Structure 1
Amino acid sequence: MQELIRITVQNDQQLVSARDLYKGLELKIRFSLWVSKNFDSFEEGQDFTSVSTDTEVSNNGGVQVRKLQDYLLTIDMAKELCMMSKTEKGKEVRKYFIEVERKWNDPQEIVKRGYAILQNENTQLKLENKNLTIQLEESNKKADYLDVILGTPDALAISQIAADYGYSAVNFNKLLHKVGIQHKVNGQWILYRAYMGKNYVTTKPFIYKDHKGNNRTSLSTYWTQAGRKLIYDVLKDNDILPLIERDDIA
């Protein structure tokens, strides 16, 4: 069957563009006048829906896209408009719509559409399940690492936290500087002002021997649970994950 007027399908309903029908009926009056004269007896939202379409027009040697008012019509409304035109072309187009409806309501076509809908719903369900699985995996990964943090109440040295990310202590300290957590003052890593006084770090003394063999005491920085959570959140915002959350690590 030759296509006289383009038919679209939305929500398992056949629809016709009012502008396409207007052109197909080869009417002489303006489109807007035709609409105002013929649409009063129909109900918007039931028989037709207002939409806008894009059209390209020449403008100063170039092409400009303009919005045009259009309407999506049900097949029943389109058939009535064909009758209201009282033209031979109207009769021809109406017969075309009747044939379109007949084919649409054929039992075999109904079964095909039903199968296609089920296939689409099945595909959509698979996508939703896949997305849910990914979200759940991400949530579990985050919970796993946070459980590691929360399950270790003791403060840890930077070397121990660095190992969670596959870094050496030296390079991890540089990374924390790069992301704006700490900076070096007189050879010692110090938190930036925004993070000071929030119980992110603590210090522990350790004893060592100097070059003369004398015992000496120094202070070393250790990260609390809150501090390790800070590191995790800041690095995650910079797309840097601990090894336990990385997909490329088996």
Structure 2
Amino acid sequence: MNDLQIFKNEQLIPVSENETGEVIVNGRQLHEFLEIGTEYAKWFSRMIEYGFTENQDFAVIVKNDVNPLGGRPSTDHIIKLDMAKEIAMIQRNEKGKQARQYFIQVEKAWNSPEMIMKRALEFASKKIESLKLENVEKEKQLSIQQPKVVFADAVSASHTSILVGDLAKLLKQNGIDTGANRLFETLRKEGYLIKRKGTDYNMPTQKAMELKLFEIKETSIAHSDGHTTISKTPKITGNGQLYFINKFKGGKSNDSAKN
């Protein structure tokens, strides 16, 4: 709660604002100002009998500090302004009259155009801050989901395998400066494709195959002399496309491949 700035230097009884924007008064401070001879707990119990309702006109606060007199923890009350005015009037003495007049002044000031505008501006400011926090959280979630979003936009047919060169084009379209040759080099360097020279050069490593990142497309080639050879081409699966886009866009892939 923030102390009201009404009568900043002449508050007879401190007043505050609750979370719903209502003016409130501390029960014990009111009791002290009214100079009531009866102890606070008995006096407040009598005041309640005038028809005040808990959680509507007042709220009970149980203090956690040690009661020097022993027994139960001491209690206090937060009283709304209307209840405070009525309690002041009930006292029928000079202090009660003084308190009631003071509360009427507080109410008038609180409902002045200036104070209404001030509260409206404060509410708007809090709302803006709340929206900023919501936007930050949304941006954070979008950042986390970005690799999947990129994949969904870039790979319309995730069940279709594509060539390494095609993946390089997708990556380039999404801000990653690479080409087919550089991507092949990266995949070999990071252990997704075999880098030793030979018949298996540029073929997927065993680990990459276990991760289902690649499939091998075999094509039969009939030569003019009658013999046939098999051409092998590595193609990146839908799962592999998601994996590598996540990886190169800064997300985390499921595993790392080794030679």
State the TM bucket, normalised to the shorter chain: 0.5 to 0.7
Q: Does the 8 Å CA contact 2:209/2:215 hold for their aligned counterparts? A: no
Cα distance, 1:7 vs structure 2? 1.2
1:188 corresponds to which residue?
A: 205
Contact 1:162 1:172 survives alignment (8 Å)? no
Matches within 5 A, 1:19-168: 19-40=28-49, 41-51=51-61, 69-85=75-91, 88-105=94-111, 109=112, 111-123=113-125, 126-127=128-129, 128=131, 131=134, 135=138, 138=142, 143-150=149-156, 153-157=160-164, 160=168
C-alpha distance in structure 2 between counterparts of 1:95 and 1:4, whole Å = 11
Shift of 1:225: 1.9
For residue 203 of structure 1, report the CA deviation from its aligned partner: 2.9
2: distance between equivalents of 1:54 and 1:174?
63
1:15: how far off?
1.4
CA distance in 1, matches of 2:116, 2:209: 63
Give the drift of 1:90: 3.1
Q: RMSD of the TM alignment (CA)?
A: 4.8
Contact in 1 for aligned 2:109/2:115 (Cα 8 Å) = no
**Which structure's residues are more often strand, by fraction?**
1
Give the aligned residue type for 1:46.
Q
Partner of 1:228: 241
Deviation, structure 1 residue 173: 3.6
Does the 8 Å contact 2:191/2:205 carry over to 1?
Answer: no
Paired-residue identity, %: 21
**2: distance between equivalents of 1:118 and 1:86?**
37
Structure 1 position 77, deviation (Å): 0.9
Structure 1, unpaired ranges of 5+: 60-66, 176-186, 207-215, 243-250
Unaligned runs of 5+ in 2: 1-6, 193-203, 220-228, 253-259
State the shift of 1:102 in Å: 3.2
- After TM superposition, give the deviation of residue 75 of structure 1 in Å: 1.5
Q: Alpha-carbon deviation of 1:5? A: 1.5
The alignment partner of 2:155 has SS state of: helix
Q: 2-side partners of 1:22 and 1:231: how far apart?
A: 72
TM-score in terms of structure 2 length: 0.54
